[in-house]
Structure 1
Amino acid sequence: MNTHKEVAADGFVIVGEEICQKIISRADAFGAVEAVFAAMARGDAYNFPVVREAIGHADALYGFKGGFDRSGLSLGLKAGGYWPGNMDKGLTNHQSTVFLFDPDTGRLSALVGGNYLTAIRTAASSSVSIAHLARKDAKVLGMVGAGHQSAFQLRAAVEQRPFEKVVAWNPHPDMLPRLGAVAKELGLEFEAVTQEELGAQADVIITITSAFEPLMMADWVKPGTHIACMGTDTKGKQEVDPALFARATVFADEIAQSITIGEAQHAVGKGLIAEGDITPIGAVINGTHAGRSNAEEITLFDGTGVGLQDLAVASVAAKLAREQGLVTPITLG
């Protein structure tokens, strides 16, 4: 049964943060994100141009990401952004809401809290890249960044490879024990290291910061490493040395975003790689690109965060919430 057909008849639902946390698992998020990346690569889904602006108040970045997935019948947008002072107010720095619409009628079908979903879909994105690109024998996971998103990333990553140890670095070392506690909970050894030592040990590296300068240099990354660059989603942001792109086989969630607001913006700007050197991760999922070709190859995934990820996961949340009777349809009249 097409859920969106039901929605047109009985109004929209509001799916709050608590409900999202209750019903959406990492497996749900992984499946939704993997499917939408595959749809994008087939040409069955596309993202709308991103609007992202510094609003000149509270140092906030605010914007919109949207799109349409013909195969999943997800249509809508996520509105929200980053308020750096929120932690002091007991709130998450990232704040967002997903609006879903019935693609047959244009009527609103759901309002879905986007904070938890943004965290779990971002972790699912890097997790998908690890599943399809990292060496099967990867044992050491490197985490660059220890903020709110890092625990989501760690929990999702360890489900894809038999990791035994986590090595981590953060600009503010006092935040590392919290990430170490998550690693311990997962039964993994944890070590706080320098960035150079992280590169020397890690088989998979996830960067998840809000940096505007390279935190990992190309020479520090050993052959065979898979890197998921997950923090850069705005012009000017940067987490890794652009020279790393020249050493790696590069993949992205969406090439257009990767070269404009993603990590690849710097390497492309310096002429180290061209747009044609980047492959959509969906091509690997669909089997039209082989992905990793050998054990010595460095693979890099530029996860800029696309609106279709949000819509895919929010659509699952709305569907499950309806099925489980956790929401009551509302009409606007």
Structure 2
Amino acid sequence: MWIVPESAIPGLVDEQSAFDAIEATFAAMSRGDAYNFPVVREALGEGRQYGFKSGLDRVGALLGVKAGGYFPGNAERGIPNHQSTVYLFDPDSGKPTAMVGGNLLTALRTAAASAISIKHLARADSEVLGMVGAGHQSAFQMRAAVRARGFKKVIGWNYHPEMLSRLADTAAELGLPFEAVSLEQLGAEADVIITITSSFDAIVQDAHIRPGTHLACMGTDTKGKQEVEAAILARASVFTDEVAQSVSIGEAQHAVAAGLLSEGAITEIGAVINGAHAGRAGAEEITVFDGTGVGLQDLAVASRAVELAVERGLAQQIAF
């Protein structure tokens, strides 16, 4: 069994590797070659969330589970609020093959998913990137988004304005101007909006969104969470990583519960990647990507990390 510690991940999996792995995973899901198992999510109190995401990729010979969650008190401990570990198994025998640090991989795979949605769904002439949320993952989201489209400006909003320096610093690294704006201004100016928060109340309102906008909603992954008003999904073309998660723990849960959106109206983005769905229908169309985060994403990036770690002598092998 291989052990790849969290400390080894930064030198192994980069943004492009994560993007390629996740895009291939979404395509495999659409073909029926890979599927996710039901998610287990538990509230531990005081804002803490813990759960398990798992799946099987028959063609890629991947079987495994990510265990982890959100622990808001970690910031005071000097460690990320999101904590996770990925476990891989031999799909033929069930023997454990690897244990991989999942914190950075989670940020990379989440950012890759929104960037994939931008590549396949955002208008080609998109120039202004809007960011809602300035937590740990926001910097990863911005970097991946800028790789997917040649944005010329970044604008952002956060419930705690003092945290917007993270967005400003990241934009500066990318050579882009940044401006802190109101939600109304963000909706009026942004061609693409990424929401990456842990909110349980809709932040972005329907009145904020103009025609042609692409929204990547990346923070809602638990029952009850919500980042955007359900009415936005009612007038948008809605895409997701997996429909079952979208309607149960994703952003679409609220629109479906309110009768504003049917499960059958949601398209998995793998169909767009494979060419089975055209994606955006026109310049005025609003598109939404409901990124719930599926277990197969974690298995894909963890498997790549193991391959590279073994090649470079950075993995520890133990008898288990």
TM-score interval (norm. to shorter): over 0.9
Residue identity matched to 1:52: R
- Aligned match of 1:74 in 62, 78, 87? 62
Runs (5+) with no aligned partner, structure 2? none
- Report if aligned partners of 2:4, 2:316 keep a CA contact under 8 Å in 1: no
Q: Who is 1:13 aligned against?
A: 2
Correspondence 1:209 to 2:197? yes
How many Å apart are 1:218 and its aligned residue?
1.1
State the SS of the aligned residue for 1:159: helix
CA distance in 2, matches of 1:104, 1:153: 36
Residue identity matched to 1:26: E
Q: Normalising by the residue count of structure 2, what TM-score does the alignment of the two structures yield? A: 0.99
Q: Mapping of 1:131-210 within 5 angstroms?
A: 131-210=119-198
Runs (5+) with no aligned partner, structure 1? 1-11
CA distance in 1, matches of 2:183, 2:210: 13
Cα deviations by residue, 1:49-70 (Å, 9 ceiling, x for unpaired): 10010124x5421110000011
Q: Who is 2:17 aligned against?
A: 28
CA distance in 2, matches of 1:74, 1:20: 19
Moved more, 252-261 or 58-67: 58-67
Correspondence 1:91 to 2:79? yes
CA distance in 2, matches of 1:25, 1:190: 24
How many Å apart are 1:293 and its aligned residue?
1.1
Cα deviations by residue, 1:202-233 (Å, 9 ceiling, x for unpaired): 00000000011111111211111110000000
Q: Who is 1:220 aligned against?
A: 208
- Aligned match of 2:235 in 247, 261, 268? 247
Residue identity matched to 1:49: P
Residue identity matched to 1:124: A
State the SS of the aligned residue for 2:67: strand
Structure 1 residue ranges, 4+ long, deviating more than 2 angstroms after superposition: none
Q: Who is 2:30 aligned against?
A: 41
State the SS of the aligned residue for 2:20: helix
- Report if aligned partners of 2:2, 2:99 keep a CA contact under 8 Å in 1: yes
CA distance in 1, matches of 2:91, 2:40: 22
Correspondence 1:330 to 2:309? no
Q: Who is 2:40 aligned against?
A: 51
Q: Who is 1:290 aligned against?
A: 278
Q: Normalising by the residue count of structure 1, what TM-score does the alignment of the two structures yield? A: 0.95
Quote the RMSD (CA, aligned, Å): 0.8
Q: Who is 2:291 aligned against?
A: 303
CA distance in 2, matches of 1:59, 1:181: 28
Cα deviations by residue, 1:42-100 (Å, 9 ceiling, x for unpaired): 111110110010124x5421110000011211110000111110000101101000000
CA distance in 2, matches of 1:328, 1:151: 30
How many Å apart are 1:122 and its aligned residue?
0.2
CA distance in 2, matches of 1:323, 1:70: 24
Pairs aligned (count): 320
State the SS of the aligned residue for 2:255: helix
CA distance in 1, matches of 2:110, 2:78: 22
Aligned-pair identity (%) = 66
